[in-house]
Amino acid sequence: MEIRLGLVVSEFNRDITYQMEQLAMEHAEFLGARVVRVMYVPGVFDMPLAVKHMASDPEVDAVVTIGCVIEGATKHDEVVVAQASRKIADLALEYDKPITLGISGPGMTRLEAHERVGYAKRAVEAAVKMVRRLKGEH
């Protein structure tokens, strides 16, 4: 069974999310999954609407979110990740479809963000595993 993935990628901190996106694509291919749609959004906070749109597509088996939220002078990074991740989890339940969190942060420096580009790989792996397990495969 071919697993079809959709990626929702944040353009904010694009130098990092570009690396994450490339790693996600490579890992999907390695796992035998295919990325059928990619949608870019301005930032992580903007992801839920794009995730909802993609989750409603019958051609997409699972959605992988890719983003990076770096700590600033205020607690803005914590608010962004908390709100986006909560809504993303709600959408997985609403659409009965795996939606995985490949978002690094909050509370990290730019250097730590570069060190955590592998979050994208983990999110792809989780999406593929969840699709297989929900369909009764191992």
Q: What is the CATH number of the domain that holds 10?
A: 3.40.50.960
Q: How far apart are CA 107 and CA 68, in angstroms?
A: 11
Element (H, E) at 24: helix 14-30
- Whole-model pTM: value is 0.96
Active site residues: 76
Output the DSSP codes for 70-112: ---SSSHHHHHHHHHHHHHHHHHHHHTS-EEEEEE-SS--HHH
pLDDT of residue 114: 95
Distance CA 35, CA 126 (A): 14
Q: Does 70 belong to an annotated binding site?
A: yes
pLDDT of 138 strictly over 70: no
Q: pLDDT digit string (tens) for 51-96? A: 999 999 999 999 999 999 999 888 889 999 999 999 999 999 999 9
Q: Is residue 100 marked as binding?
A: no
Give the structural domain span for 86. Answer: 3-134
**pLDDT tens string 3-54:** 999 999 999 999 999 999 999 999 999 999 999 999 999 999 999 999 999 9
Query: Total structural domains in the chain?
Result: 1
